Structure 1
């Protein structure tokens, strides 16, 4: 095994100090994110923001409040799309929704909502299944710019063909074009899709349970966490779910190695949908 180059060791020290500074000054905690992922994102930030070293980036972060949102844009970036992994949404529609119909009111949490693609996917699905009026959606993220983008409901027009195909493959009961208006190279989704949505800043790393949910969808977020942080997030989801509530994870995520695995049963294993055990 080749020893790290001395400059790499120094970079790793700088990164840990930068993450510590970010936490101490702004209370954003990335210290237990997977190091390879965080290092890659910070290198992109350093290069694109024009800093020679991570220490220089840290100095700017500590003394220039305008640097915080710019840095968070790199640290929290997520590539998503509407109805991503269509079989997941088809399983929600065909296997989870029949259970949700039995409740007079519903709470759904989209954790790490990023630009809102998953939120609008679920809002449309719930409207098509006649559950929207009894559902309160919580869309959370640690990045305020991402929350603002989600709340705007505006996406580039060139992304829509993929969104439309995903919606069709997920078992959509209407045309996706029923839900948006297109103009000037962008589409704006109907404001009515947001009428039952609460947008809120929430960190899976530091914040606590804030309600009892019937469905939590947190997909392709925990792949950036180390094992301890994954366990913390899954414990938070466990404590946030109603008995027999549902948890949906990303295609590359699993409960298998978590200390909270026993609190969940496989519901649709191939699509990473789990059900809170009735304890």
Structure 2
């Protein structure tokens, strides 16, 4: 009986993900099954559905449900300067390399509600690189992008954000970058003046720009191996030779078929550098 229920649930999940893809072109079929089931259970509770089949009916027949369902299927939890050591290594070891370029492009993939974008914008401003940098902040969720562009966060989060900023080697006070009012912190709009906000789906979309730094943190852990490989391939195609890729602390290139295109730059912080020269099939560097 338990096996039959589990099999039924597996079929329901497969049909629901296929329905979402066909109806809206959002493709979650390659996401980690354990993660997607947990989120679908939360969505069922929110929408009052006793089964995944009921949720599928709502997705197909009630306008607006898919937009709200995205909030359950995409992760929107982050912090400014999350994992401060990552930003310290960027500040002290990556940016000196990027400083040699006359202009810079940075892709923040899966930017969620913007915490990583503002972290990067502040970091680049403090290091004197903001004026020659264009940021691409992308996410699958249009509502998350709207919040990222607004740059408004609960004031009670600022103490943690401030601690993170200080630990990252911040050269100023975080309060210099936002205005507090009515229980909220509104970040200075000049921080996003050179930011392009855009919907982008790592599952289905293609490369859109050549960039010097890709930061995609705590997104790949929700993908299965094939989808992780696709996303890393996009980052590989996007990066200039010698460009940098930053992942989350629980993520790695170790099992990717694109691994040989990168060198480990800061192992603990999961920062990789694209090789300055391609490799041949035997693993040797080509000589220019």
TM-score (norm 1): 0.98
8 Å CA contact retained: 2:88, 2:169: yes
Q: C-alpha deviations, 1:208-233, integer Å up to 9, x for none?
A: 00010100000000000000000000
Q: Within the alignment, does 1:274 sit opposite 2:272 as a pair?
A: yes
Choose the corresponding residue for 1:11, options 9, 12, 15: 9
Counterpart position of 2:102: 104
8 Å CA contact retained: 2:263, 2:273: yes
Q: CA RMSD in A?
A: 0.9
Choose the corresponding residue for 1:245, options 243, 246, 249: 243
Counterpart position of 1:126: 124
Counterpart position of 1:45: 43
8 Å CA contact retained: 2:76, 2:144: no
Does the residue aligned with 2:206 lie in a helix, a strand or coil?
coil
Q: Within the alignment, does 1:166 sit opposite 2:167 as a pair?
A: no
Shift of 1:12: 1.4
Q: Within the alignment, does 1:33 sit opposite 2:31 as a pair?
A: yes
Shift of 1:53: 1.1
- Give 5+ residue unaligned stretches, structure 1: none
CA distance in 2, matches of 1:251, 1:132: 26
CA distance in 2, matches of 1:71, 1:142: 12
Shift of 1:52: 1.3
Q: Within the alignment, does 1:262 sit opposite 2:260 as a pair?
A: yes
Q: C-alpha deviations, 1:249-271, integer Å up to 9, x for none?
A: 00000000111100000011110
Equivalences for residues 62-77 of structure 1 within 5 A: 62-77=60-75
Does the residue aligned with 1:271 lie in a helix, a strand or coil?
coil
CA distance in 1, matches of 2:273, 2:164: 25
Counterpart position of 2:18: 20
Alignment coverage as a number of residue pairs: 277
Does the residue aligned with 1:110 lie in a helix, a strand or coil?
strand
Counterpart position of 1:90: 88
Does the residue aligned with 1:270 lie in a helix, a strand or coil?
coil
Counterpart position of 1:193: 191
Equivalences for residues 210-249 of structure 1 within 5 A: 210-249=208-247
CA distance in 2, matches of 1:227, 1:4: 28
CA distance in 2, matches of 1:72, 1:82: 22
CA distance in 1, matches of 2:75, 2:130: 28
- Give 5+ residue unaligned stretches, structure 2: 278-288
8 Å CA contact retained: 2:137, 2:195: yes
Counterpart position of 1:156: 154
